[in-house]
Chains A and B, each alone.
Chain A
Amino acid sequence: MWLPLLGLLFGISLGLLTDIEIPIVYESYLSIAVLAALDTIFGGIRAQLQQVYDDHVFVTGFFFNIALAAGLAFLGVHLGVDLYLAAVFAFGVRLFQNIAIIRRILLSKWNDKKAKKSEETVQ
C-alpha cells in the first residue's frame, strides 16, 4: 500500500523540480494527458467499488489513454481540426459519470450500514 503513495510523492517532487519548459504548442498535449490520467484513476476507483476491477485493464488503460489522447491532439493539429476538443469532451463526460457512480455506490453503502446499525439497535 505504501509503495504507490511513495511513488506519487516521488513523481510530484520530480515534476515540481524539473525546470524544462515545453513550447506553448505542446501545452494542449500536457493538459489532455492530465485529463486522461484523471479519467483512468477515477475509472479504476469505480471499477474497484463495483468489484470488476482488473489490474491489467487499469495499468494498460492508464498509459494507453494518455498516449491516445496525445496522439489524437497531434493528429488534430496536423489535420487542422481541433480533435483535442473531442478528447477533452469525452474524458470530461466520463470523468463526471465515473464520479457520479462512485458517489452513488458510496451513498448506498453508507445507507446499508446505517440500516444495519438501526436494525441491531432495534434487536
Chain B
Amino acid sequence: MTKQQASKKRQSVKHQFAFLIVSIVLGFLFSYAYNTAKTKDNTMIEINSSDFERKEQLRENLIVQQERNKELEEEKLQLQQKIKDYEQDFSGSKEGSRNLVKQADNLRLMLGKIPGQGSGVTVTLQDAEYNPKSVNPNDYIVHESHVFKVLNELKISGAQAIAINGHRLEANSYIKCNGPVITIDDDQFPAPFIIEAVGDPKVLSAGLTLAGGVYDQLIDDNIVVVIDSSKELIMPAVQGNS
C-alpha cells in the first residue's frame, strides 16, 4: 500500500515538473513574441519619421544652396562682362594695347571663363546597335578613350573651345570612364556624346577625317560617328568654382 502511494507521489512530482517546464516555455514564448513585436513597431516608426524629416530638411538646404550658386554665377558673368567693356574702352583709347586685350580674350576663351562663340564642328559619338553575335558589350559602346581621341585631335587641329554634351571643358578638366557613362568633372554623361568645338570647321573636320585617323579608328571600333560643321556654335562658360 505504502509503496503504491510512494510511486503515485513520485509520479505526481514528475507531472508537476513537466507542467513547470511547459508553463515556463509558454510564458517565455509569449512575452518574447510580445517584446519583439513591440520593439519592431517602435523602431520602424522612429526611423520613418526622423529619416523623413531629415531628408526634407537636407533637400531644402540643397535647393537654397543651388539657387544661391546660380545667382552668384550670374553675378560673376555680369562682372566679367563689365571688365571686358572696360578693356574695350581702354583699347579704343590706346591703340597699342588692343593686341593685349585680344590676347587676354583668347586666353579667357581657352580657360573657358567666358562663353565661346563662333563657327566650328560638332562630333556625335553614339553606341552601335545591339549586336546579338557579340558577347561582349564593350565591343560596341563608346569608351572614354574614344572621346579622348576626338578631343586630342580637335585640340591639335586648333579648337579654341570644346564642350561635351553642353559641359564646357577647361584646362584641368578630367574625363573618367564609369561603366556605361563617362564622368566629366564630377558630372555623369551618357551616350550619345555630342562634342562641340569652336575653331576653323575646315581644318577641324579635315583633321578628324585624315586617312587612318580618328574617324577611321572610331569606325573600326563599331561606333556611329557623325561629323557636322556648323556656322554658329554657342557654348556656355565653365560653371562651378573657378
Question: A55 to B21, alpha carbons, bound, how many Å?
Answer: 13
Contacting residues, chain B, for A15 (C-beta < 8 A): 27-35
Stretch of A30-38, A92-100, A103-111 lying at the B interface? A30-38
Residue of A nearest to B38 (CB): A16
B83 within 8 A of A: no
Q: Are A9 and B16 in contact (CB under 8 A)?
A: no
Question: A24 to B20, alpha carbons, bound, how many Å?
Answer: 30
Within 167-203 of B, Cβ neighbours of A (below 8 Å) are at none
Contacting residues, chain A, for B26 (C-beta < 8 A): 8, 11, 37, 41, 62
Instruction: For chain B, give the interface size range.
Output: 20 to 34
With most chain A CB atoms within 10 A of its CB, the pick from B23, B31, B40 is B23
CB distance from B145 to the nearest CB of A (A): 45
CB distance from A59 to the nearest CB of B (A): 5
Question: A37 to B27, alpha carbons, bound, how many Å?
Answer: 10
CB distance from A45 to the nearest CB of B (A): 13
Chain B window 1-44, contacts with chain A (Cβ cutoff 8 Å), 1 for yes, 0 for no: 00000000000000110111111111111111111100110000
A4 within 8 A of B: yes
Contacting residues, chain A, for B31 (C-beta < 8 A): 11-16
Q: Are A4 and B19 in contact (CB under 8 A)?
A: yes
Residue of B nearest to A26 (CB): B36
CB distance from B95 to the nearest CB of A (A): 81
Question: A15 to B18, alpha carbons, bound, how many Å?
Answer: 19
Q: Are A18 and B19 in contact (CB under 8 A)?
A: no
Contacting residues, chain B, for A22 (C-beta < 8 A): 36
Residue of B nearest to A55 (CB): B15
Contacting residues, chain B, for A82 (C-beta < 8 A): none
Question: A55 to B30, alpha carbons, bound, how many Å?
Answer: 22
Within 30-85 of B, Cβ neighbours of A (below 8 Å) are at 30-36, 39-40
Contacting residues, chain A, for B32 (C-beta < 8 A): 15-16, 18, 30
Q: Are B15 and A12 in contact (CB under 8 A)?
A: no
Q: Are A5 and B18 in contact (CB under 8 A)?
A: no
Q: A31-B33, A33-B29 are in contact. Are A7 and B18 (CB under 8 A)?
A: no
Q: Which residues of B contact A (CB under 8 A)?
A: 15-16, 18-36, 39-40
Can you list 13 A-B contacts (CB < 8 A)? A6-B20, A9-B27, A10-B24, A11-B26, A11-B30, A11-B31, A13-B31, A15-B28, A15-B35, A16-B35, A33-B29, A62-B25, A62-B26
